[in-house]
Amino acid sequence: MTTQYGFFIDSSRCTGCKTCELACKDYKDLTPEVSFRRIYEYAGGDWQEDNGVWHQNVFAYYLSISCNHCEDPACTKVCPSGAMHKREDGFVVVDEDVCIGCRTAIWLARMAHRNITKRKAI
């Protein structure tokens, strides 16, 4: 049996502060244009008047997204340069020296969220 890695987020406690994103960048010593974790905000609702009284149903929630390190990652199969690969220890990684920035792996593997640096992206 192989080890399957993941990252647990208690989304009920997430305020969208992006501290986890910054901590990841700091821990991995990433340059400003590279991000292995992204926080997405989904918000909606509005204010409505009812007999002179205003009520709101405004809401927001946040999703912390990163690579799932899938057991059989689709992103590694479609990467034309071979930059995306799964290591022996189970982590899916990008070899930035080999990456051509085509984004093929991102487009074709919806759940395989990885980063392509802005300087290489077309």
pTM, rounded to two decimals: 0.57
Neighbours of 111 (CB within 10 A): 11
Gap between the Cα atoms of 39 and 33, Å rounded:
15
Class for the domain spanning 67-122: alpha beta
Statement: residue 111 has pLDDT above 80: no
Cα dihedral sign for 87, 92, 97, 102?
A: positive
pLDDT tens-digit series, residues 83-102: 988 888 888 888 889 989 88
Statement: residue 118 has pLDDT above 80: no
pLDDT tens-digit series, residues 38-87: 888 999 999 999 999 999 999 998 988 887 788 888 888 889 999 988 88
Domain boundaries, the chain: 10-66, 67-122
Q: Residue 1: its pLDDT value, please? A: 54
